[in-house]
Amino acid sequence: SAVPDAPSAFIVYEQTNPNDPFGKVMVDNLMRRGCPLLSIHDYPTLAAQQDRYTDRGWDKVVAFDMNSVYDKHLDIKDVERI
Whether 2 shows a pLDDT value over 70: the answer reads no
* pLDDT at residue number 8: 81
* pLDDT at residue number 7: 79
CA 48 to chain centre: 10
* pLDDT at residue number 3: 61
Q: Are 16 and 65 in contact (CB under 8 A)?
A: yes
DSSP, res 39? T
Indicate the pTM of the whole model: 0.77
Q: What digits encode the pLDDT tens for the residues 13-68?
A: 999 999 999 999 999 999 999 999 999 999 999 999 999 999 998 888 999 998 89
